[in-house]
Structure 1
Amino acid sequence: MFASSTLLTAMFRVINFTYLLRYVAIATATLSILAYWGAEKILQIELPIARLFSVAPWVALIIILFITTNSTSRATWRLLNKLNSSLYPDLNGTWEGEIDIEEGQKIPARAVIRQNLIEVQIDLHTATSKSLTLETTPVIAAGQFKLYYTYRSTPSNLT
């Protein structure tokens, strides 16, 4: 059995936040106007334009909650990946591997990755150590997806 692990959390950009904010602003304006127009059609009355400004913050709140909630952001991510395959892939799951150390030795390791549009969380399990994630950065280099992972490792017998 592996030593107990510490929850490891690092923030990184899975998608470009500039574009995300632009799309949220555009979606908020569009959905607010559609909600205002729909309310006028359903109620069959002319609403004051000030109502449009009272709808917009709620639309923005719903959009932000939608893209920052794990279940809905992952569904959004799957949809966006179908539309644009150059987006960073979804790494969620359990990954088995080895850690290469000096003298050609290898230590079996298991990483549990939980990732959404905003962050990635990595738990790294080995028989001899536990790791604290300092930073993770997704990169697309020469057409390949890479995840740079900086961590601090402590022997499990010291904790």
Structure 2
Amino acid sequence: MMWALLSKRTQLILASSTVLVCAFGLEMLVQFFTGQSIHLIKLISAVATAVLLVLVPAAYFLFRQILKRWPILQKLTFPDLNGAWEGYLTTTWVDPETGNNPEPIPATVRINQTLFGIHVSLETDESVSDSAQEVLETDRKAGKYRVWYRYDNSPKAAVRHRSPNHGGLAFLEMHWEKDSNLLTGRYFTDRKTTGDITLRRVPDMVG
């Protein structure tokens, strides 16, 4: 997903440059130690295979550590949202029995973000929702970063008589310069209700 934020041209340049630099570096090492040269096409092919088998998995697993070590990369690409976030949902739904909006609903959001994807799950006392499709949006000049996602909501058994399964669309937004530990957003359900989302990052005790 983070990779998808780069233009196709930039992706091609980065991938090609990595392969070529590694290929020429390896050729120089071989010539230095053996005095022999390797056919360039075969060398590039071998390096491309090595990049796919080694560097791509390494980038996948080291992605978060890299962002933590150099926070500026988060601003240049997309913030690290991994972990738990706690807050509440404020719905616009009106209870027909009271004629009022319900009190804010406590919620916990867990985000799993990698170099190539992101998943958002939200849980309240009554239901659990999981993202089914996600899109990242950036406005670096304004310091704003947004995750749009389509979700499926599954209410717990005790409330299904009044709250059936449903789907919806939501977004979570961070204003990097103001508070990188705060997410705000909004949700829209296929039951024609909407609401606001306010979340604060739970400190990562592991570190």
Tell whether the structures are fold-level matches, with TM greater than 0.5. Answer: yes
2:30 maps to which of 27, 39, 45: 39
Contact 1:12 1:118 in 2 (8 A): yes
- CA 92–83 in structure 1, closer or farther in 2 if over 3 Å, else same: closer
2:78 maps to which of 71, 88, 91: 88
Aligned to 2:55: 63
Where does structure 1 lack aligned partners over 5 or more consecutive residues?
1-10
What SS class does the counterpart of residue 85 from structure 1 fall into?
Answer: helix
Contact 1:132 1:152 in 2 (8 A): yes
Identity of aligned residues (%): 21
Contact 2:113 2:119 in 1 (8 A): yes
Question: What is the number of residues matched between the two proteins?
Answer: 146
- CA 139–104 in structure 1, closer or farther in 2 if over 3 Å, else same: farther
TM-score normalised to structure 1 length: 0.75
Q: Give the superposed CA RMSD.
A: 2.7
Distance in 1 between the 2:156 and 2:114 partners? 29
Deviates more, 1:106-115 or 1:95-104: 95-104
1:133 maps to which of 131, 134, 137: 131
Contact 1:77 1:117 in 2 (8 A): no
What SS class does the counterpart of residue 118 from structure 1 fall into?
Answer: coil
Distance in 1 between the 2:73 and 2:85 partners? 26
Contact 1:136 1:147 in 2 (8 A): yes
Distance in 1 between the 2:121 and 2:74 partners? 29
TM-score normalised to structure 2 length: 0.60
Aligned to 1:119: 117
Of Structure 1 and Structure 2, the greater helix share is in 1
Relative contact order higher in (CA < 8 Å, ≥ 6 apart): 1
Of Structure 1 and Structure 2, the greater strand share is in 2
Query: CA-to-partner distance for each residue in 1:5-48, whole Å, 9 max, x for gaps?
Result: xxxxxx676632522342022101111110111121122x2223
